[in-house]
């Protein structure tokens, strides 16, 4: 291909994702958003990134009662609907997919999984940002022989953290490939790599880790791009 085209689903901090990928030469980035009315731009994309942002609405995993029970109010249902259609397209057309934070959660729900709506309400340690707005950092344990272990060359490492929801039940065809020491799902991938196009989901934010050379940041991006060059596998 003459130039690789990446679609990034727009979020609150789109510029972070844009700058992360623009560190790589010969890339064209398309901002994908219901605000842009540009779902058809997927036709130009060789791969898609689902970025972080608002909570996934519980109606999508048949838990609408969570909204009132856990006092949830950080939603954008138009974004949910747009990205659901985006996910359908990526799977129908075998586009490589990288999901980050909300992107992991949204993809898990798309495949029939469920979410923990608020981690602290389930008596689990806080994984959200510090009050001053800085990301937390913690250890992550990677499942041996997973694709993520192959990508990072490690079975443990340090990642950032800025979320209050997480995976409860894994979606059909997905496996958990990383966990935090306190039991929060930190990554997912396909159970069977040959079952579809490339798919890597991480709960942390590799696009804004303080060490850009960290294998849990740089290698994630680079492997996603390599999968595109390899034809989506």
Lowest-pLDDT range of 9-13, 134-138, 167-171, 206-210: 134-138
Q: Which pLDDT belongs to residue 126?
A: 59
Q: 131 is written with which tokens?
A: 């009050």
Domain count, the chain: 1
pLDDT of residue 135 exceeding 60: yes
Instruction: For the chain, give the mean pLDDT.
Output: 93
pLDDT band at 11 (very low <50, low <70, confident <90, very high): confident
DSSP 176: E
Please say whether the beta carbons of 177 and 223 come within 8 A. Answer: no
Residue (of 110, 90, 120, 78) closest to 199 by Cα position: 90
* Residue 70: CB atoms within 10 Å: 19
pLDDT band at 206 (very low <50, low <70, confident <90, very high): very high
Mean pLDDT of 19-34: 95
Residue (of 141, 151, 160) closest to 204 by Cα position: 160
179/143 Cα distance (integer angstroms): 8
How many residues would you count in the chain?
A: 233
216/212 Cα distance (integer angstroms): 9
Q: 194 is written with which tokens?
A: 């040959």
68 Cβ partners below 8 Å, 6+ apart? none
Q: Which pLDDT belongs to residue 157?
A: 95
pLDDT band at 158 (very low <50, low <70, confident <90, very high): very high
Q: Which pLDDT belongs to residue 130?
A: 54
Which of residues 194 and 209 earns the better pLDDT score? 209
Q: Model's pTM, two decimal places?
A: 0.94
Sign, CA torsion 158/230/37/58: negative
65/183 Cα distance (integer angstroms): 24
Residue (of 111, 135, 110, 127) closest to 185 by Cα position: 127
Q: What is the pLDDT of residues 28-67, one digit of tens each?
A: 999 999 999 999 999 999 999 999 999 999 999 999 999 9
pLDDT of residue 132 exceeding 80: no
User: Checking DSSP bridges between strand 174-179 and strand 136-142, what pairing results, if any?
Assistant: antiparallel
- Which CATH number belongs to the domain containing residue 156 in this structure? 3.40.50.880
Q: Which pLDDT belongs to residue 161?
A: 86
Q: What is the pLDDT of residues 101-129, one digit of tens each?
A: 999 999 999 999 999 999 888 777 655 65
Domain with 118, as residue range(s), is 4-229
């Amino acid at each position: 291909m003459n130039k690789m085209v990446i679609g990034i689903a727009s979020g609150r901090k789109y510029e972070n994702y844009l700058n992360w990928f623009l560190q790589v030469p010969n890339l064209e980035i398309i901002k994908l958003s219901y605000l842009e009315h540009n779902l058809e731009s997927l036709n130009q994309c060789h791969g898609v990134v689902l970025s972080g942002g608002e909570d996934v609405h519980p109606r999508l995993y048949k838990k609408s009662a969570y909204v009132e029970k856990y006092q949830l109010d950080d939603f954008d249902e138009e974004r949910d609907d747009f990205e659901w259609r985006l996910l359908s397209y990526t799977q129908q057309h075998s586009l490589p997919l990288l999901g980050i934070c909300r992107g992991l959660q949204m993809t898990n729900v798309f495949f029939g999984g469920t979410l923990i709506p608020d981690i602290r309400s389930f008596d689990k340690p806080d994984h959200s940002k510090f009050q001053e707005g800085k990301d937390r950092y913690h250890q992550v344990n990677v499942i041996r022989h997973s694709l993520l272990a192959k990508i990072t060359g490690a079975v443990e490492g340090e990642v950032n953290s800025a979320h209050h929801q997480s995976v409860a039940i894994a979606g059909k065809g997905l496996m958990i490939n990383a966990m935090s020491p306190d039991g929060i799902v930190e990554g997912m991938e396909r159970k069977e790599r040959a079952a579809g196009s490339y798919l890597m989901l991480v709960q942390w934010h590799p696009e804004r880790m303080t060490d850009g050379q960290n294998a849990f940041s740089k290698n994630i991006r680079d492997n996603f791009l390599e999968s595109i060059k390899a034809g989506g596998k």
